[in-house]
Amino acid sequence: MAVAQPALGAARAPSRWQSWWRIFSIIFESRVATVGLAIVLFWVLVGLLSFVWTPHNPNATDFGKNAPPSAINWLGADYLGRDILSRLMQGTQVILLKTRLNDSGAILPGGVALWGVFLSLMLGALLGLNAGYRGGWWDQVIMQLLDALVAFPVIVLYLVIVKAFGQGDLVVIVAIAITGTPGMARLVRSMTLDLKTRDYVRAAQTRGESSWWIMVREILPNAMGPLLVDAMLRVGYAIFAIGTLGFLGIGLPPPDPDWGSMVNEARRNIFINQWAVLWPALSIASLVIGLNLFADGLREEITRYQK
């Protein structure tokens, strides 16, 4: 009598590492996303390195004023004789890796740009889910408030918030969050209007699940892919916002330097020392370009997989 043999190559559940590799393989299948990720990781590594080593003290005025690049100062020195490379490295911390909570020096992991975008994502998801799923007066009130907020120029909102609360890392985070929330809420609302008609949402409604449960457990997880891609793009916008506030002299307070304030300080001597303006400007541009390339490439791959 023939004995049934187990099927060769029977499917096995993938291990945790295999699951993670499948996620990362989506990124590496896109050259654009890979290049963008490489640029972003470069700046992350620069920021991490600055915690343990910098060529010189970023705030020390030990060198000649407006010194050009040399063997001692690889990128030159600014108008006060401070090493530009050391200040660029420390400025990476402020944007991507740490947030100063108050004057006492307490540090929160994660940069100002990341926390600002994260907060706008949370607020936008909360408002967009309620507007899109509940509809009716919820939708009208929330969208009217957001439309009124969008009516103000972004730079005016920045100035009002900083003037009202003063300078500080937390104030910049709040400014980024407030200006980014309307766009995020509109995206979440449009996706919620589509997702709430799906069969799994109707099944949850039939089971008698609450509106909050359906929004958080059924709709939001299925919208996270596009939301995360959009959030990456908004990190680039947040970096521009930090640079703009720093250039205007109302951004992050000392002693930690940020790239925007470095450009603002160096522009007064731009005809004497162009290097002090060039390096922080290139740093801002390269990081923003890297984030945009990474987000665009990832969005293309996600769209291709969904087809």
> Residue 75: its pLDDT value, please?
94
Give bridge partners of residue 99 from the DSSP assignment: 108
> Residue 11: its pLDDT value, please?
47
Q: 35 exposed, middle or buried (CB, 10 Å; 0-12, 13-18, 19+)? A: middle
> Residue 302: its pLDDT value, please?
73
With beta carbons less than 8 A apart as the criterion, state whether 162 and 252 touch: no
Q: How far apart are the first and last CA of the chain?
A: 47
> If you write DSSP's letter for every residue of 6-17 in order, what string do you get?
PPTT---PPPHH
User: Torsions phi, psi of 231, nearest 5?
Assistant: -65, -35
Which has the closest alpha carbon to 300: 234, 236, 229, 237?
229
Q: 32 exposed, middle or buried (CB, 10 Å; 0-12, 13-18, 19+)? A: middle
Q: What is the pLDDT of residues 49-101, one digit of tens each?
A: 999 999 999 988 877 888 899 999 999 999 889 999 999 999 999 889 988 87
> Residue 256: its pLDDT value, please?
72
Q: 199-215 burial string, b = 16+ CB within 10 Å, else e?
A: eebeebeeeeeeeeebb
pTM exceeds 0.85 for this model? yes
- Number of neighbouring beta carbons within 10 Å of residue 59: 15
| Domain layout of the chain by residue ranges | 25-306
> Residue 1: its pLDDT value, please?
46
DSSP helix/strand/coil, 100: strand
Give bridge partners of residue 98 from the DSSP assignment: 109
Query: For the chain, which ranges sit under pLDDT 70?
Result: 1-20, 22-23, 102-105, 255, 304-307
| Residue 199 CB partners (closer than 8 Å, separation 6+) | none
**CA–CA separation, 2 and 55 (whole Å):** 76
Measured CA angle at 193 (ends 126, 115), to 5 deg: 30
Which has the closest alpha carbon to 214: 196, 226, 229?
196
**CA–CA separation, 278 and 30 (whole Å):** 30
> Residue 224: its pLDDT value, please?
87
> Residue 250: its pLDDT value, please?
82
Token duo for residue 73:
């100062």
Q: Choose which CATH entry (1.10.10.60, 1.10.3260.10, 1.10.3720.10, 3.40.50.720) describes domain 25-306.
A: 1.10.3720.10
> Residue 36: its pLDDT value, please?
94
> Residue 116: its pLDDT value, please?
94
User: Torsions phi, psi of 83, nearest 5?
Assistant: -70, 120
